[in-house]
Structure 1
Amino acid sequence: MPKCTDARIDFGRLGRRVIEADFSGGDLSSDGGVLLLRQVDEYLGLSRAAAAAIPDPRDPERVRHSLRDLLAQRLYGLCCGYEDLNDHKALRGDVLMQTAVGRDEALASAPTFSRLENRATRAQAWALHEVLAAQLIASFDKQPAQLVLDIDASDVPLHGQQELSQFHAYYDHHCYLPLYVFCGQAMLACVLRPSKIDGAKHAAAVIKLIVTRLRQAWPGTRFIVRADSGFCRRRLLQWCERSDVGYIVGLARNARLHAAVEVAEAALADAYEASGSKQRLIGEFSYAAKSWNHERRVITRLEYGDQGTNPRFVVTNLEGEPGVLYEGLYCQRGEAENRIKEAQLDLFGTRASCSRFIANQFRLLLAALAYTLMQRLRALALQGTELERASAATMRVRLLKIGAAILRNTRRVKVMLASHHPLRDLFATAAARLGALSP
């Protein structure tokens, strides 16, 4: 194990040479790629829009760090892998982070961020959701013909005495149960909820708010709601039907559904016995649950193999061939699960360390804004490159974590990136693409 004595670290010897290190390098940074985040943020106006959406109750004469600078510092920190507020105790002195935020002096400290999070309100949470919707709208050059909205839920594990902490039997721990809505790779909602609820609670209300907002910008766009069987609730289906919104939602298996496909499954079983190969069929029928006021179209995917039958059911109000709707549309909903993992694991959307529930909702939204920043970096600067499908964690390790030395004087800030970085050409390409977007 390396030995550390008086700030000097001994790493042994290399031949006749002694290997030693210390922290006297001066203005160096491990986050050379933060300048790319700055370019994306400037183009999107993301941190400025978020700051404009939140009222600032502080005395203007005593403010040292503007709300925009606080949010930019926090978002850049999350993107670069700094999940804890305590990280900013040292990070506030990083000259490159200061440059990215737009300052030439020490940035905000952990207590300043703690005060920001703990004065959060529900109104601020809805205002930041409006920022997410505005970012999606701005990402399109023209009105899209159709958009698919994916709904899903996930857990945020809790390990302390957080407000509204509840035990969830399925996840087998205390947690929150946030509701997510995505449109493609863009996040539109991340609503924090207690866990001891129906997983579909608030889904209809959130979808209604999102569709209403998007229709203000795109009145001619067709919207489709997609979700698994946990969100198959009468309220959501009825609202979609009244509001001319399409839906394709999983339907939990039950005895009546099994009875409806019993003959088809028997035919598949006979075909399997005759051929020895797995049998598959996609069909449809009309069905009404006891709580429904009319029959709806149900698409079923039936399989029969060496493990027996394996039926799946989805309910929809869409027109089209059953196979196309099931395989070409419904089965793509799994992509939303990947996006949730990216937001939660790569950008620390599970870091609910505040005691107040609404403060943790604010933290979840900060992770959502950081996710938006990384997602737009990928879309704007990395298409056609080896990182065009990279996750936020991969982008961080390969593109943002670049060693850099910084010289700052009255005339310029010179950033000297590591000469032998493996992706130096890709970095230059991304910077050039982002630079060309500036007005």
Structure 2
Amino acid sequence: MPNCTADSMNFGRLGRRVIEANFQGGAISSDGGLVLLRQIDRRIGLSKAIAQVLHDPRDPDRIIHSLRDLIAQRLYGLCCGYEDLNDHDRLRHDPLLQTAVGKVEPLASSPTFSRLENRASRADILALNQVLVEQFIASHHKAPAELILDIDASDVPLHGDQELAEFHGYYDHYCYLPLYVFCGQAMLSCVLRPSRIDGAKQAAAVIKLLLSRLRQAWPETKFIVRGDSGFCRQLLIRWCERHDVGYVIGVARNARLQKAVADWEAELEADFAKTHSKQRMIREFRYAAKSWNRERRLVTRLEFGSQGRNPRFVVTNLDLPPESLYDELYCLRGEAENRIKETQLDLFGTRASCHAFLANWLRLLLAALAYTLMQRLRSIALVGTELANAQAATIRVKLLKIGASVIRNSRRIRILLASHHPERETFLTASRALAP
């Protein structure tokens, strides 16, 4: 006879009442917001687009879980906070996840996902990057007048025997060095690279490919490339100049640059000595490093305070006033760093625990696509709500992690959400925005 009290838990008393708990609640899910993910996915066609470009070598007569269903299950799991494939060994029986994916029977288990990851090819990787671009283009109802592409790199720590794992002196650990391109909050590309390389390697090629597709869609749009001093490379700068692309890119300080601004810094130092308050100015001048083919416009932001000098330099081919170019254009590139952190921390974009390099790249791209799903949920369904500017982790906690009871019969699937959920009105607003 089965032991029905094996998972019973006792939490003391409340007055005369005994507090007991067990895991026998039945068809209850902790992810009531999955229905919102299902609706936004259907609206933008993300999982369908991914399934159409990935190769599938399986025998069609023996397939139980379609590629579209696998992708949807994996993306929804990431959005709801399930980073490990092993989580799906239990989640596959979650009635609400089944409903969101579009099935009423058990979903895929971790071995199925493992096989999906380990058969990734370079063609698959290229195709998924193209999906990111096509999703961005489809999100615009008309051609934008101007777009700013932010390019940046980050690290993905490694803790095992991964292919191409190398030690990086700056980050002080074994890691990969992915390259990201964002436009506003939208991710356009995620390129995984070994870490023992120049951080700007492949940047010009990635920008070239992106702008080729974007200009095909929007031939009249003006494009600007923005990056920190790690991307101040002649290959990228000259390509931008040849193809009528604006750029504003940081320049690392050196002795020649320090000499060029010495008089301005002396002026700031004298003013600081008089006022004892931090001094700041923005100036511009012409400059050419030995490796440059000609002089270019440099904008410098100079500061002098209690900790001494703090100069910054930017090279550009734009004709904006130096103050607005630095403060209103260049400094805003920090937003891309926030989006990288959101992808890596909130959507588990550092979970490179596979052995194969391409399998890890696929994992990063799935995290990027899950980020895209959350970003479109934010931009379409949460406009005007208190979560309109919330990060993915906040949206997950406040909107997706809702207790729900699922009642299924032959005619209807009823989802009974927690009656006292504090974000009830926000959830209702989002559901109305995503209504078929």
Q: Deviations over 1:150-193 (max 9, x none)?
A: 01111101111011111111111111010000000000111100
Q: Secondary structure at the match of 2:180?
A: strand
| Cα drift, residue 280 of structure 1 | 1.0
Match of residue 114 from structure 2: 114
Confirm whether residue 33 of structure 1 aligns to residue 44 of structure 2: no
Q: Secondary structure at the match of 1:300?
A: strand
Aligned counterparts of 2:29 and 2:87: Cα–Cα separation in 1: 14
| Runs of 4+ residues over 2 Å off in structure 1 | 274-277
Give runs of aligned pairs for residues 12-411 of structure 1, distance below 5 A.
12-411=12-411
Q: Secondary structure at the match of 1:244?
A: coil
Q: Secondary structure at the match of 1:250?
A: strand
Q: How many residues align?
A: 433
Q: Deviations over 1:267-309 (max 9, x none)?
A: 1111222222221110100000111110110000011122221
Q: Secondary structure at the match of 2:414?
A: strand
Match of residue 412 from structure 1: 412
Q: Secondary structure at the match of 1:329?
A: helix
| Cα drift, residue 5 of structure 1 | 6.2
Aligned counterparts of 1:329 and 1:423: Cα–Cα separation in 2: 36
Aligned counterparts of 2:276 and 2:58: Cα–Cα separation in 1: 73
Q: Secondary structure at the match of 1:167?
A: strand
Aligned counterparts of 2:147 and 2:298: Cα–Cα separation in 1: 22
Aligned counterparts of 2:168 and 2:283: Cα–Cα separation in 1: 36
Output the aligned Cα RMSD. 1.0
Aligned counterparts of 2:306 and 2:94: Cα–Cα separation in 1: 60
Q: Secondary structure at the match of 2:32?
A: coil
TM-score of the pair, normalised by structure 1 = 0.98
Q: Secondary structure at the match of 2:181?
A: strand
| Cα drift, residue 76 of structure 1 | 0.2
| Cα drift, residue 10 of structure 1 | 1.4
Q: Deviations over 1:29-63 (max 9, x none)?
A: 00000100000000000000010011211110000
Aligned counterparts of 2:123 and 2:319: Cα–Cα separation in 1: 39
Aligned counterparts of 1:215 and 1:192: Cα–Cα separation in 2: 25
Aligned counterparts of 2:74 and 2:306: Cα–Cα separation in 1: 53
Relative distance call for 1:5 and 1:165 in structure 2 (3 A) is: farther
Aligned counterparts of 2:350 and 2:276: Cα–Cα separation in 1: 47
Aligned letter for 2:229?
A: S
Aligned counterparts of 2:362 and 2:245: Cα–Cα separation in 1: 30
Aligned counterparts of 1:320 and 1:90: Cα–Cα separation in 2: 56
Q: Secondary structure at the match of 2:297?
A: strand
TM-score of the pair, normalised by structure 2 = 0.98
Aligned letter for 2:88?
A: H
Aligned counterparts of 1:427 and 1:138: Cα–Cα separation in 2: 25
Aligned counterparts of 2:296 and 2:68: Cα–Cα separation in 1: 49
Aligned counterparts of 1:42 and 1:375: Cα–Cα separation in 2: 15
| Cα drift, residue 310 of structure 1 | 0.9
Q: Deviations over 1:243-286 (max 9, x none)?
A: 11110000000000000001111111112222222211101000
Aligned counterparts of 1:191 and 1:378: Cα–Cα separation in 2: 25
Aligned counterparts of 2:268 and 2:85: Cα–Cα separation in 1: 58
**Runs of 5+ consecutive residues of structure 1 not aligned to the other structure:** none
Aligned counterparts of 1:418 and 1:216: Cα–Cα separation in 2: 48
Aligned letter for 1:161?
A: D
Aligned letter for 1:298?
A: L
Aligned counterparts of 1:318 and 1:76: Cα–Cα separation in 2: 42
Aligned counterparts of 1:370 and 1:276: Cα–Cα separation in 2: 50
Q: Deviations over 1:86-144 (max 9, x none)?
A: 00000000110000000111101100000000000111011011110011101111000
Aligned counterparts of 1:297 and 1:284: Cα–Cα separation in 2: 7
Aligned counterparts of 1:7 and 1:34: Cα–Cα separation in 2: 27
